[in-house]
């Protein structure tokens, strides 16, 4: 076998952000205001702070308004719900994102349920989950939607292909399976209890790995020519003492000698997540303003 084609998520994300920026400029012209994304951060988790800063910068770079609300780690749940309620009622805010994870004393499901589903650009609200499952317009979690965009860009039509999703989380695995099903794939959700996991994966034309186990999927798990989407982001010890490096759930070095196309880590799925968040926000802005919009343009 030769080397797999590298699926350039970073490049695709740049193109998507450019399209969002064009749509955002047109929205501002038509609506007389900028589309707005509000991000709420509770506590001082360093990784979450980095994500929030990046989201804010990219929102502004796309010509949208960024609203950041920070609460201390010891804030009570009622305070957070109060912030969400104000954002629900604020006409300048089209999308609301509460950065997860929340402190242990807060009920994540309760907080997500408090967000207006039409402003839930993360796609986690049970109403949007139901809309996805039944094929109705809603908002889809950003990472799996980014994965489906990369797959369609790489393969064109996905109809009739066998797809295996490794992982059953509400954030990636389950919505990923729904999206693949909507594209007429034959879908298997595999997980830690799946028997003969490698055999199940070996039947797949499309493999989406989202389990959080470094280098779990090996070359001999793959059908030759399969398209591999690696959602994993795992920190492992680097070559130098005290240093770490990022790896995915797929053993990239070996898998890339068997796969037909594969996403790298970093530079594959990761950049798509914020780009799709911005895409969801501009979609929400048009819907909230009652403006016609061709969502396929994104």
Task: Write out pLDDT tens, residues 50-70.
Answer: 889 999 999 999 999 999 999
Query: Residue 240 — pLDDT band, cuts 50, 70, 90?
Result: confident
Q: What is the pLDDT of residues 288-298, one digit of tens each?
A: 999 999 988 88
Contacts of 173 (CB under 8 A, 6+ apart): 165, 166, 167, 189, 191, 210
Helix (H, G, I), strand (E, B) or coil at 179: helix
Helix (H, G, I), strand (E, B) or coil at 234: strand
* Segments of the chain assigned to CATH 3.40.50.720: 141-271
Instruction: Tell the burial category of 9 from Cβ atoms under 10 Å away from its Cβ (0-12, 13-18, 19+).
Output: buried
Is 243 one of the annotated active-site residues of the chain?
no
Catalytic residue among 8, 34, 55, 58: 55
Is 120 one of the annotated active-site residues of the chain?
no
Pull the structure tokens for residue 149.
């965009």
Q: What is the pLDDT of residues 244-263, one digit of tens each?
A: 899 999 999 999 999 999 99
The pTM of this model reads 0.95
162 forms beta bridges with: 186
DSSP 8-state class, residue 99: P
Positive or negative, the CA dihedral 83, 87, 89, 95 is negative
Give me the mean pLDDT over the 103-112 stretch.
Answer: 96
- Residue 135, preceding peptide bond in cis (omega within 30° of 0): no
* CATH class of segment(s) 31-116: alpha beta
Is 99 one of the annotated active-site residues of the chain?
yes
DSSP 8-state class, residue 181: H
Q: How many CA atoms lie within 13 A of 17 on its CB side?
A: 20
Catalytic residue among 94, 122, 205, 230: 122
Catalytic residue among 8, 58, 99, 251: 99
CA angle (167 as vertex; 165, 172 as ends), nearest 5: 85
CATH 3.40.50.720 is the classification of domain 141-271 = yes
42 forms beta bridges with: 71
Helix, strand, coil distribution of the chain in percent, nearest 5: 45, 15, 40
């Amino acid at each position: 076998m030769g080397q797999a084609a590298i699926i350039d998520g970073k490049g695709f994300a740049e193109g998507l952000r450019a399209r969002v920026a064009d749509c955002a400029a047109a929205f501002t012209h038509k609506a007389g205001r900028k589309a707005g994304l509000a991000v709420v951060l509770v506590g001082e988790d360093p990784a979450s702070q980095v994500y929030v800063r990046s989201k804010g910068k990219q929102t502004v770079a796309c010509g949208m308004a960024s609203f950041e609300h920070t609460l201390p780690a010891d804030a009570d749940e009622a305070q957070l719900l109060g912030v969400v309620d104000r954002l629900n009622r604020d006409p300048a805010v089209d999308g609301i994102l509460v950065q997860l994870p929340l402190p242990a004393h807060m009920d994540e499901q309760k907080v997500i349920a408090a967000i207006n589903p039409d402003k839930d650009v993360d796609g986690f609200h049970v109403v949007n989950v139901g809309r996805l499952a039944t094929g109705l317009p809603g908002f889809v979690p950003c990472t799996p939607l980014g994965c489906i965009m990369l797959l369609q860009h790489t393969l064109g039509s996905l109809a009739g292909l066998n797809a295996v999703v490794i992982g059953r989380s509400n954030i990636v695995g389950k919505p990923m399976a729904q999206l693949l099903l909507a594209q007429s794939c034959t879908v298997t959700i595999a997980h830690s209890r799946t028997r003969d996991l490698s055999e199940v994966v070996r039947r797949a034309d499309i493999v989406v790995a989202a389990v959080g186990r470094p280098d779990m999927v090996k070359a001999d798990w793959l059908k030759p020519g399969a398209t591999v989407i690696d959602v994993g982001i795992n920190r492992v010890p680097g070559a130098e003492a005290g240093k770490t490096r990022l790896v995915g759930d797929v053993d990239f070095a070996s898998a890339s000698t068997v796969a037909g196309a594969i996403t790298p880590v970093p530079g594959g799925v990761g950049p798509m997540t914020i780009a799709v968040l911005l895409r969801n926000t501009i979609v929400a802005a048009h819907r909230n303003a009652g403006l016609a919009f061709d969502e396929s343009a994104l």
